[in-house]
Amino acid sequence: MILKSIILFLLFLRFGDSNPVLQIGDEAPTFSLPTLDHKYVTLRDFCGESLRKPWKNKTKYVVVISFFATWCKPRIAEIPHLEKLSKDFKGMPVRFYLIDVGEDNNTVAKFIREKNIKLPVLLDRYQKTAEKYDALTLPRLFVLDKNGIIQKEQKGFADAETFEKEMIELLSSLLTGK
């Protein structure tokens, strides 16, 4: 019995959690999530070592994903800054997505309408994508390069000016390859 417990403990230490914490330099887990109008967005359509449908979309994009919920005040404070960045980088190969964690379509749609949010919103109703990204505690933001590699991960949101400055520098460098 003791030997069995030791073996199980060693296996746990060896393989640990099936969802290790993502870090800068890790490949971003892929996902396919519905929009508010029930169309699906798949990460590998926009970034990754190889695109899912290269004959349909030949351009690789830098992707910014922000996990949020309608009740999450810090993320709600971040959204206008993401929208500004989206406008600043309009026409460039950058995609911005808000991913709502665990809420139903009607709740999210009402919130988006009331706040007049223009960024695309994806629904992670069952929190499977949030689990892959260790984003069950909100808010959480990731910036992925064109190859789907995590270049920034951020928990929380505090200083808008610093956030925008850092994001502009990072997105610009990822677009120019510098």
Q: What is the CATH number of the domain that holds 61?
A: 3.40.30.10
Q: Is residue 9 in some structural domain?
A: no
Q: Is residue 110 in some structural domain?
A: yes
Q: Give the number of other Cβ atoms within 10 Å of residue 129's Cβ.
A: 22
Q: Is residue 11 in some structural domain?
A: no
Total count of domains within the chain: 1
Rounded CA-CA distance 27/138 in Å is 21
| Structural domain of 76 | 22-176
Q: Is residue 148 in some structural domain?
A: yes
Long-range contacts of 41-50 (CB under 8 A, 24+ apart): 41/97, 41/120, 41/122, 43/144, 43/148, 44/148, 46/95, 47/144, 47/145, 47/146, 47/147, 47/148, 48/147, 48/148, 49/147, 49/148
Q: Is residue 14 in some structural domain?
A: no
Tell me the per-residue pLDDT of 114-143, one tens digit each, with 9 for 90 and over: 999 999 999 999 999 999 999 988 889 999
Q: Is residue 135 in some structural domain?
A: yes
Tell me the per-residue pLDDT of 43-97, one tens digit each, with 9 for 90 and over: 999 998 888 877 677 899 999 999 999 998 877 889 999 999 999 999 999 999 9
